Amino acid sequence: MGDAGGGVAVPDRGRRAGWLGAWLLAHALCVGAAFAGPAAGGVAGEEEAARQEAIYHSRGESVPPGYVVDRSLLSYSAFLMPGFSRALADLGPSDRWLDIGAGQGLAILDYYTERYDAMNPRGRERRGRKARAVAVSIEDRRTPRWEETAARLDPGQIRYLAGRRLREYSRDELGRFRLVSDFTGGFSYSRDLSVFMEKVLDFLEVDGDFHTLLLDVRPEAASGRPPDPDTQYLTEIEHEDGSNAGVCNWLKRIGCAKVACEQDTRTARQVELYHVRKVCEAVAVPALEPRGFKAGTPPLRRFVLRKSSARQPAGPR
């Protein structure tokens, strides 16, 4: 399953509806029905972990539907909050952009095209030679286009890192970034979501932005209502008494982070978009305990928000 088109224009919210509906309809064929419930630990948990690893390492015709490795920048602009496109357009030569779960790295490659500049005049003068970008992927999905683009750019303008999860990188290795994006990457797949967010915020500069989304999640607007019996939620966060805590509510508890959540109402599926801005260094992420995981694209995950769950502020790494 690939992305539509190769353009990189920033569409308005109305024009995005058709693309979103078509993409989500196709994606809906890949998730939901296979999930009877999250696997517990032990042998069952190990089996689910092995199934998920097989998805990550799949190639060619063995890549399951829904595991997309060729998303264009158009998809990012269409589906993430509009603030992502503005933040990207405003990056200058001294800024850095990190794309998590980058696949083939097409979003980054699209950013360095003349067409991007022509269709996104905002900030063009400030961009100059443009920001430096880093793509992170569990598997190396690069195509010849990546090597061709890297060869014509300044050395170190773009980097592609593969073979490790985000939590395995240190700040010394990656540095810091003005913008971090995650389009159904680690935020949708990580088995330890609180550790993942700690790493994202550690890599962000103060006043830097993180943009992501989740499919099939209970949106903040529905937090006080009973769950939809017809929806298989892929990511759930509960209190220890079993009541719904919600992803957006959890994010808003993070110290030194300003969070905006937006339900995407253009589809019958429950989709929520997130924008997290780091506002100071004393970041403290409420700890989540993983309680269930079922392999998929994305996987089904259950977490419990611990009562005394604020982690200590992240120090230098």
Q: What is the mean pLDDT of the chain?
A: 85
Task: Say how far residue 292 (Cα) sits from the centre of its chain.
Answer: 20
pLDDT band (50, 70, 90) for residue 269: confident
Note the pLDDT of residue 160: 98
Q: Cα(95)–Cα(81) distance, rounded to whole angstroms?
A: 20
pLDDT in the model for residue 225: 67
Least confident of 21-35, 78-92, 100-114, 167-181: 21-35
Of 96, 77, 193, nearest to 135 by C-alpha is 96
In this predicted model, what pLDDT tens digit does every residue of 276-317 receive, in sequence order?
999 999 999 999 999 999 999 999 999 999 886 555 454 444
Specify the pLDDT at position 219.
87
Residue type, 32: G
pLDDT at position 42:
61
Q: How many alpha carbons fall within 13 Å on the CB side of residue 162?
A: 12
The answer to whether residue 5 scores a pLDDT higher than 70 is no
Residue 77 CB coordination number (10 Å):
24
